[in-house]
Amino acid sequence: RLDQAADLLKEVGLDSVRIGIDSYHMNIEESDPAAAILAHAPYIGHAQVSDSNRFQPGAGHLDWPAWLNALHTIGYEGYLAAECRLTGDPVEAVRSVPAFLKGSGA
């Protein structure tokens, strides 16, 4: 969870180390993924995206507007790295990701 990772970073004290958040795992382990993003903003350095079923964003039931709006609110300017399996035609699935994320709040 993000609180555990943030506590570890505080204890170690290295400003060069940041948390890589992962929408799939946050969906499983965080009670409120968007709130976790907001609460631990200073420690977030990278974001990976996949949906609740590990397929491309839009293929599951993750609350993308809340997740992406939280990233927007904290001023995250990094990449969203798609780390997922694909469902459907692979080319169409990959092409769907940027438009889906933009339409969901990115």
What value does the mean pLDDT of the chain take? Answer: 95
**pLDDT tens digits for 42-53?**
999 999 999 999
Domains of the chain, CATH where assigned: 2-103 (3.20.20.150)
Give whole-number Cα distances, 94 to 55, 84, 99, in Å.
10, 10, 10
**pLDDT tens digits for 9-34?**
999 998 899 999 999 999 999 999 99
In angstroms, the CA 30 to CA 36 distance is 7
**pLDDT tens digits for 56-75?**
999 999 999 999 999 999 99
